[in-house]
């Protein structure tokens, strides 16, 4: 009898619920943090939710500082500036606060502040993470302010290499935050563009984890429920940004997606990463544009699985019904049908195909991705070629 073998990891302590940001100082105390560096992006630095977080830390007897030199697609210069601030301030932990850029940069600062090697030595390749001094990694409290990336429950961070304009995944098990505060009140007031893009990012994480060929039934079960939450709540939030219950469900779906994608991702992300690096597009929106084209491409390998998924979600007509449900959701929340709608053109076409096939996520696609098929998918998503969807 064949015995299936796999290694599984699940996330950390999560304090979920409206108003729980008030527990931020307590979460720091629980991890032994006394001088936290709150890391966020430049757009959040002056907002009320960030000032509130700093006040909570101060009122809790801590000595915090703020670092916000973080751009939407963080680069090594942002990380190095954060490390300098961390070490000059003699900080002993990080509060990673914000969307994907703030969360990833905060986690990377905590990981790298006391390492002696370059960050690129810890790319998610083979067992490179074992090169790190694990004892030097400082504790992290993560506070998401969007509902998409799920980085708050992840063991990696994405960083762009400005010299090659590529996004790289930096991994270490101890990059997992020790405490997460998921407070859906922090997502109220998000621009509709960000709400739509991050919601579709969560859906992409769940969908690609579910479709991946690896054996991980627990991840697949989490992914299925995460997709249900997105389909049932993303339209609600787009119609009423103050729907705190729906926003909470989306925040949960985001964490579920990041938990599930330890099983793997696929061509949606493999294509989205180089497009984002070269054209500076929003990651979630780019995933959303590629999604139906990659679904159609993968159909020979996933049709039966998508049929089961559609039945669970109450979608009729199997694969075709699910594909059309994705197209309908995109249309209803204002996702462009093509990459051209994100101001992407074909100037980097050949480079994107070459970058996609070597992206760490490409190996998880259920149909092998080649330069030729990556190029065809890019062209289809750029032009909106209906034949590429076949069943739409």
Per-residue pLDDT reduced to its tens digit, 121-151: 999 989 999 999 999 999 999 999 999 999 9
pTM comes to 0.93
Q: In what order do the strands lie in the sheet with 36-39?
A: 13-16, 179-182, 140-144, 93-98, 36-39, 65-67
- For residue 10, the model assigns a pLDDT of 74
Give the pLDDT score at 2.
45
SS3 94: strand
Instruction: Using DSSP bridges, classify how beta strands 156-161 and 166-171 pair: parallel, antiparallel or unpaired.
Output: antiparallel
Handedness of CA 113, 117, 120, 122 (dihedral sign): negative
Q: Are 266 and 210 in contact (CB under 8 A)?
A: no
Alpha-carbon gap, residue 248 to 233, rounded angstroms: 9
Instruction: Report CA-CA distances (Å) from 204 to 26, 34, 76, 123, 152.
Output: 33, 37, 26, 22, 17
pLDDT string in tens for the chain (392-residue length): 345 665 666 789 999 999 999 999 999 999 999 999 999 999 999 999 999 999 999 999 999 999 999 998 899 999 999 999 999 999 999 999 999 999 999 999 999 999 999 999 999 989 999 999 999 999 999 999 999 999 999 999 999 998 888 889 999 999 999 999 999 999 999 999 999 999 999 999 999 999 999 999 999 999 999 999 999 999 999 999 999 999 999 999 999 999 999 999 999 999 999 999 999 999 999 999 999 999 999 999 999 999 999 999 999 999 999 999 999 999 999 999 999 999 999 999 999 999 999 998 999 999 999 999 999 999 999 999 888 886 44
Which domains, and CATH codes, for the chain? 13-187 (3.40.50.1970), 192-388 (1.20.1090.10)
- pLDDT of res. 8: 64
Identify the CA nearest to 123 among candidates 69, 71, 87, 76.
Answer: 76
Total residue count of the chain as it appears in this document: 392
pLDDT at 6: 56
Q: pLDDT tens digit string along 216-271?
A: 999 999 999 999 999 999 999 999 999 999 999 999 999 999 999 999 999 999 99
Nearest CA to 226 among 249, 193, 208, 244? 249
Return the biggest CA–CA distance within the chain: 61
Task: For residues 284 and 293, give the distance between their C-alpha atoms in angstroms, rounded to a whole number.
Answer: 15
């Amino acid at each position: 009898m064949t015995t299936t073998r796999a290694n599984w990891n699940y996330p950390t302590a999560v304090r979920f619920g409206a108003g729980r940001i008030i527990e931020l100082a307590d979460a720091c105390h629980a991890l032994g943090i006394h001088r936290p560096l709150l890391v966020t992006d430049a757009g959040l630095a002056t907002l009320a939710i960030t000032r509130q977080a700093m006040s909570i830390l101060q009122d809790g007897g801590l000595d915090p500082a703020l670092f916000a030199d973080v751009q939407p697609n963080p680069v090594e210069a942002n990380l190095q500036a954060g490390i300098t601030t961390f070490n000059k301030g003699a900080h002993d932990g990080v509060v990673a606060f914000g969307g994907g850029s703030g969360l990833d940069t905060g986690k990377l600062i905590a990981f790298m502040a006391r390492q002696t090697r370059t960050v690129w030595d810890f790319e998610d390749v083979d067992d490179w993470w074992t090169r790190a001094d694990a004892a030097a990694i400082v504790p992290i409290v993560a506070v998401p302010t969007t509902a998409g990336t799920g980085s708050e429950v992840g063991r990696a961070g994405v960083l762009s290499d400005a010299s090659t304009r590529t996004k790289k995944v930096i991994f270490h098990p101890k990059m997992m935050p020790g405490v997460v505060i998921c407070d859906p009140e922090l997502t109220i007031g998000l621009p509709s563009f960000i709400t739509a893009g991050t919601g579709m990012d969560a859906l992409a994480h769940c969908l690609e984890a579910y479709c991946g060929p690896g054996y991980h039934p627990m991840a697949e079960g989490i992914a299925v429920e995460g997709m249900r939450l997105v389909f049932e709540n993303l339209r609600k939030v787009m119609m009423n940004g103050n729907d705190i219950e729906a926003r909470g469900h989306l925040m949960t779906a985001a964490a579920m997606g990041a938990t599930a994608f330890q099983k793997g991702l696929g061509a949606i992300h493999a294509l989205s990463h180089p497009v984002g690096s070269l054209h500076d597009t929003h990651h979630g929106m780019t995933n959303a544009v590629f999604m139906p084209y990659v679904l159609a491409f993968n159909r020979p390998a996933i049709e039966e699985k998508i049929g089961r998924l559609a039945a669970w979600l109450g979608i009729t007509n199997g694969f075709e019904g699910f594909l059309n449900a994705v197209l309908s959701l995109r249309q209803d929340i204002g996702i462009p049908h093509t990459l051209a709608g994100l101001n992407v053109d074909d100037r980097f076409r050949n480079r994107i195909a070459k970058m996609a096939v070597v992206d760490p996520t490409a190996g998880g696609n259920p149909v092998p991705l080649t330069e030729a098929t990556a190029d065809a998918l890019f062209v289809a998503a750029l032009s909106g070629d209906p034949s590429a969807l076949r069943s739409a």
